[in-house]
Amino acid sequence: MFKDLFQKKKYATVPSVSQAPAAGERPKREIPEGLMNRCPKCGNIQFSKEWEKNLKVCSTCGHHSRLNALERIAMTLDDGRFFEIDADLTSEDPLEFPGYKAKLEQQKASSGLKDAVITGEGELGGIKIVVGVMSFDFFSGSMGSVVGEKVTRAIELAAAKKLPLLLFSTSGGARMQESILSLMQMAKTSAALAKFQEEGGLYISVFTDPTLGGVSASFASLGDYILAEPGAIVGFAGRIVIEQTIRQKLPDNFQTAEFNLKHGQLDKVVHRKDMKAFLTNLLEMHVAGGASDGQ
């Protein structure tokens, strides 16, 4: 009896006036995470599936969102078929930089990659090529010893097999944790490309957002054809650093692909949906009969 007397009664929670929907207004529903995507440039909201179907390009303003290396390979090569090389190369800690080993493991876990570039062989438009794709989600695409070594080996493989070379670049610059060893990769990759091109090799370079620092100052800018995706930021030092150095306000479109094209730093800005067809046309122009024998 006394137990029933002092037992707490259960009450229904009544929403406050501010929480309750207005007359004629439908109650708000929770949207499952990942169902919708908001464009970081214009704020347009669209279904994530539609956005991905559109190659992660905003249907309203055309903003090209970043892709990881695996996504880029899947949408570029024929049927997404890719034969990776040097997959086991991983960065060490030659300078015993504080915290570097732990950061490498964290980057591997978060990105699913072993370093900031994937290299290998595939076909594009039925033409055999050697391809390298950088990924910004691994250490901001920074170039350390492994990135430089894998790019150099890809160049040498293209030379040995007499195949065209295609590199997609994205990078924040040299990897400071490897100091001079990282900076050395600029010279190494550039020297390998010089030899490759002297022997008549075809090299197509594609800038994606962003490509800065040592990558833009070395192999990314040495292509026989240099392309970029719309809106990609391409340069050496960052905008803030330059403005602080020269103490001047830079144009709003400074370092964009369109700005670089206007000033003669690029050959063409190519929309992502047109990139595969455009690259295929370039390859067909240079490969006899529209196919490579790989000899």
Q: What is the DSSP string of 5-67?
A: HHSPPP-PPPPPTTTSPPTTPPPP-PPPTTSEEE-TTT--EEEHHHHHHTTTB-TTT--B---
Angstrom distance (rounded) from CA 216 to CA 222 = 9
Q: How many Cα atoms are found within 13 Å in the side-chain-facing hemisphere of 247?
A: 0
* pLDDT at residue 35 in the model: 86
Residue 57 binned pLDDT confidence (cut-offs 50, 70, 90) = very high
Q: What is the DSSP letter of 139?
A: G
The residue with greater pLDDT, 164 or 3, is 164
Residue for token pair 């009544």: 14
* pLDDT at residue 170 in the model: 98
* pLDDT at residue 238 in the model: 87
| Cβ contacts of 9 within 8 Å, gap of 6 or more | none
Q: Give the range among 9-13, 101-105, 157-161 with minimum mean pLDDT.
A: 9-13
Largest CA-CA distance found in the chain, in angstroms, rounded: 99
Nearest Cα residue to 164 out of 131, 189, 133, 195? 131
Specify whether the CB–CB gap between 208 and 66 falls below 8 A. Answer: yes
Specify whether the CB–CB gap between 214 and 180 falls below 8 A. Answer: no
* pLDDT at residue 30 in the model: 59
Q: What's the whole-number average pLDDT of the chain?
A: 89
Specify whether the CB–CB gap between 149 and 89 falls below 8 A. Answer: yes
Specify whether the CB–CB gap between 137 and 68 falls below 8 A. Answer: yes
Q: Say how many residues make up the chain.
A: 295
Angle at 290 between CA 289 and CA 293, to 5 degrees: 75
Tell me the per-residue pLDDT of 74-132, one tens digit each, with 9 for 90 and over: 999 999 899 999 999 999 999 999 999 999 999 999 999 999 999 999 999 999 999 99
* Distances in whole angstroms, Cα of residue 127 to Cα of each of 5, 40, 82, 92, 200: 85, 36, 13, 35, 17
Q: Between 145-161 and 179-198, two packed helices, what is the crossing angle to 10 degrees?
A: 10
* pLDDT at residue 21 in the model: 55
Does the pLDDT value for residue 11 go beyond 50? no
pTM: 0.85
Does the pLDDT value for residue 24 go beyond 90? no
Residue 14 binned pLDDT confidence (cut-offs 50, 70, 90) = very low
* pLDDT at residue 6 in the model: 46
Q: Between 69-76 and 272-286, two packed helices, what is the crossing angle to 10 degrees?
A: 60
* pLDDT at residue 291 in the model: 44
Other CB atoms within a 10 A radius of the CB of residue 36 amount to 14
| H-helix segments, the chain | 2-6, 48-53, 69-76, 100-111, 145-161, 179-198, 213-216, 239-246, 257-262, 272-286
